[in-house]
A = this chain, B = another copy of it.
């Protein structure tokens, strides 16, 4: 069973619409980085996706590195900063889709938003 996790920085306090767009960016970018067969399987399984929170940039980058060290495809979104945040702000990351167990191992201490 495949699953994707998207992890958002809480210290930025992104408003609802902005956050949704950033989460979608991360999700799509990780999908475009991934193996086609995996995406097809994930899609057929219902495209499981969870949105989680992390404290700040430092904790987010640690999770990203952890995923990379485990050979999981990732994406990180850097915002152009035209509206809500400073240009170049790293807002969120996506991890996977990949095996549920592999994703959970990295994200199991995180809480749903």
Contacts and interface: CB of A to CB of B under 8 A. Distances in A.
Interface of A: 6, 8, 16-17, 19-21, 23-29, 31-32, 39, 43, 46-47, 49-51, 80, 112-113
Copies of this chain, complex-wide, total 2
Interface of A is mostly: helix
A51 B112 contact: no
Contacts of A20: 6, 8, 19-20, 23-24, 51, 113
Given A27-B28, A43-B32, A113-B16, A21 B51 contact: yes
A112 B23 contact: no
Contacts of A112: 17
A112 to B, nearest CB: 6
